[in-house]
Amino acid sequence: MFKNLTGRLDSVFKTLRGYGRISEKNVADSMREVRRVLLEADVNYRVAKDFIARVQERALGQKVLRSISPGQQIIKIFRDELTVLLGGEAPNLDSLLKSPGIVMMVGLQGSGKTTTAVKLALFLGKRGKRVVLGATDLRRPAAVHQLGVLARRANLPIVTDEHGSALSVAQRTIEFCSENRMDGAVLDTAGRLHVDEGMMAELKEMKEAISPDHIFFVADGMTGQDAVNSASEFLRWLDFDGVILTKLDGDERGGAALSIRAVTGKPIFFGGTGEGLGDLEVFHPERMASRILGLGDVISLVEKVEEAVEEEAAARMAEKLARQTFDLEDFLDQIKQLKKMGPLDQLLGLLPGLGGKLKSLKFDERSLVPVEAIIQSMTPEERRKPGIIDGSRRQRIAAGSGTSVHQVNQLLKQFFGMQKMMKRMGDFKMSERSVGRDFVKLTHF
Ligand SMILES: Nc1nc2c(ncn2[C@@H]2O[C@H](COP(=O)(O)OP(=O)(O)OP(=O)(O)O)[C@@H](O)[C@H]2O)c(=O)[nH]1
Ligand SMILES: [Mg+2]
């Protein structure tokens, strides 16, 4: 996510951090560089200009340049202002979570409405709300089918009528919702171009007829100013309540993400982070700012871990940590849990100090396959006490797992390193940053 942006900003900050003293000229130079980076990411020109002006003004403020670590201070100012730019506070989901009601998804063609409609319905379902999907996109022949396939995968009910109109399907879906005493309906609408006034008028008509409780504008996060311009147009016609930014997992541009809030004044509620139906995150401006700046997002990481790791396994691990008896069984467990959490390079991007470096670090999950095979070829005793694995045992394990002695050696080396790290974590003496570094070293086979 935003790898490009993060990588570029990281190098600006590195320069800033490197200075023992920072002059006004240094600040001006780096802000000029930041401005260029933002414009290349296709951030709206005005937004970039105002943003830089605010950061610069604060950076040149009295105390910053004379402080002990001016570089760090400027980065902090930058993060604070970026948080404000992304909306400041986390979105208020209370009413959506309490009674979703009628939710309308609108946006440009291909922005991700259909996928996000299902993701959102699933998100609500996980939080105890019963929601039905309405397939009101009757323009694209395959659209109803697409929503149907996704709905089936998510095990959600869907209402459609290929001979009806968008409005009649919407109304039918709402009836279905109330007849079945459900908590809400998510309506997938047809994509349109902002220049298409006829189609915009149709959406407005639907809005007036059904009075939705929430209208979300779905915007493709990989685009730049175009998405923002159309957001303004949709806002004019529909006055939507909030934005959902999709494709945040792509590393292109990201300009839309940075400017859409400032331009529309509407909060960003969610971010889409993949094609999977579970890939929807509540949008937290502060965490996102940290991620963009390569400062990591430990909170989101912890939440992901909590979702994937069963409580029991987590408790077992905590005990192991306390007793400092982390063995190869646990190592295998960890690898399995890690795989459940989703693409590893996305996960690693959440770690502090790594965001910008991930461009070159392409993690290949397949590299974990031999690791599992090797551990599975060990006897239970070997897994518990890896110290006993001598040369001849290594040869046997390599042969048994279809790997080489070199790979077995590698793995054991990684494991002993991880064991050491676990011990240190048990002693709580590590900073977040060094955990991040070790983590990568150890998982990068
Ligand atoms: N990587 C990634 N792909 C996404 C995300 N959201 C949607 N997509 C993909 O983007 C493409 C378009 O998504 P749709 O949901 O069909 O978009 P739409 O707005 O309904 O498109 P139209 O109905 O044609 O206007 C699909 O291939 C999706 O899988 C996301 O968060 N990440
Ligand atoms: Mg669609």
Per-residue pLDDT of the chain (445 residues; tens, 9 = 90+): 567 777 788 788 888 777 777 788 888 888 999 899 888 888 888 899 999 999 988 888 766 776 667 777 788 888 889 999 999 989 999 999 999 999 999 999 999 999 999 999 999 999 999 999 999 999 887 999 999 999 999 999 999 988 899 999 999 999 999 999 999 999 999 988 777 888 889 999 999 999 999 999 999 988 888 778 889 999 999 999 999 999 988 766 678 888 899 999 999 999 999 999 999 999 999 888 887 877 665 556 666 666 666 666 666 666 666 666 778 887 777 777 666 666 656 666 665 554 444 444 455 556 667 888 898 899 989 998 889 999 999 999 999 999 999 999 988 887 887 777 666 655 543 344 344 444 433 333 3
| φ/ψ of residue 270, rounded to 5 | -135, 160
Distance CA 251, CA 273 (A): 11
Asked if 274 and 365 sit in the same domain, the reply is no
Asked if 43 and 189 sit in the same domain, the reply is no
Atom of ligand 1 nearest to the CA of 272: 31
Pocket perturbation via mutation, ligand 1, pick of 114, 144, 194 by most ligand atoms within 8 A of CB: 114
Atom of ligand 1 nearest to the CA of 191: 25
Asked if 270 and 332 sit in the same domain, the reply is no
Asked if 118 and 183 sit in the same domain, the reply is yes
- Claim: this prediction has a pTM higher than 0.75: no
> CATH number for the domain including 383?
1.10.260.30
| φ/ψ of residue 133, rounded to 5 | -100, 140
Asked if 308 and 289 sit in the same domain, the reply is no
Please report the pLDDT score of residue 340 as a whole number: 66
Asked if 309 and 281 sit in the same domain, the reply is no
Asked if 231 and 373 sit in the same domain, the reply is no
Q: Closest ligand to 246 CA?
A: 1
Nearest CA to ligand 1 atom 1: 274
Nearest CA to ligand 1 atom 13: 112
Distance 295 CA to ligand 2 centre (A): 35
Distance 345 CA to ligand 2 centre (A): 28
Please report the pLDDT score of residue 370 as a whole number: 80
CB environment 178-194: b (16+ within 10 A), e (fewer) = eeeebbbbbbbbbbbeb
Atom of ligand 1 nearest to the CA of 248: 31
* Nearest-5° Cα angle at 3, 228 to 344: 120
Distance CA 42, CA 50 (A): 15
Looking at 278, 293, 308, the residue that finishes a domain is: 293
Asked if 148 and 267 sit in the same domain, the reply is yes
Distance CA 383, CA 328 (A): 5
Task: Give Cβ neighbours of residue 250 (< 8 Å, ≥ 6 apart).
Answer: 1, 221, 222
Distance 114 CA to ligand 1 centre (A): 7
Q: Closest ligand to 219 CA?
A: 1
Looking at 85, 117, 138, the residue that finishes a domain is: 85
Contact 86, 258 (CB under 8 A): yes
The secondary element (H helix, E strand) that includes residue 282 is strand 280-282
Distance CA 71, CA 192 (A): 45
Q: Closest ligand to 274 CA?
A: 1
Pocket perturbation via mutation, ligand 1, pick of 122, 133, 275 by most ligand atoms within 8 A of CB: 275
Distance 249 CA to ligand 1 centre (A): 12
Contact 245, 271 (CB under 8 A): yes
Number of domains into which the chain is organized: 3
> CATH number for the domain including 277?
3.40.50.300
Please report the pLDDT score of residue 183 as a whole number: 96
Asked if 238 and 147 sit in the same domain, the reply is yes
Distance 275 CA to ligand 1 centre (A): 7
The secondary element (H helix, E strand) that includes residue 280 is strand 280-282
Any bridge partners for residue 281, and if so which?
271
Please report the pLDDT score of residue 208 as a whole number: 96
Distance 183 CA to ligand 2 centre (A): 23
Range of the domain at 53: 3-85
Atom of ligand 1 nearest to the CA of 271: 31
> CATH number for the domain including 55?
1.20.120.140
Distance 395 CA to ligand 2 centre (A): 55
Distance 115 CA to ligand 1 centre (A): 6
Asked if 281 and 327 sit in the same domain, the reply is no
Asked if 148 and 54 sit in the same domain, the reply is no
CA 64 and chain centroid, separation: 32
Nearest CA to ligand 1 atom 17: 112
Asked if 182 and 197 sit in the same domain, the reply is yes
Q: Which residues line ligand 1 (CB under 6 A)?
A: 107, 109-115, 137, 140, 143, 191, 246-247, 249-250, 272-275, 279
Please report the pLDDT score of residue 291 as a whole number: 79
Looking at 25, 57, 85, the residue that finishes a domain is: 85
Task: Reduce the secondary structure of 228-261 to three states and give it as a string.
Answer: HHHHHHHHHHHCCCEEEEECCCCCCCCHHHHHHH
Please report the pLDDT score of residue 18 as a whole number: 75
Distance CA 147, CA 343 (A): 25
Distance 9 CA to ligand 1 centre (A): 28
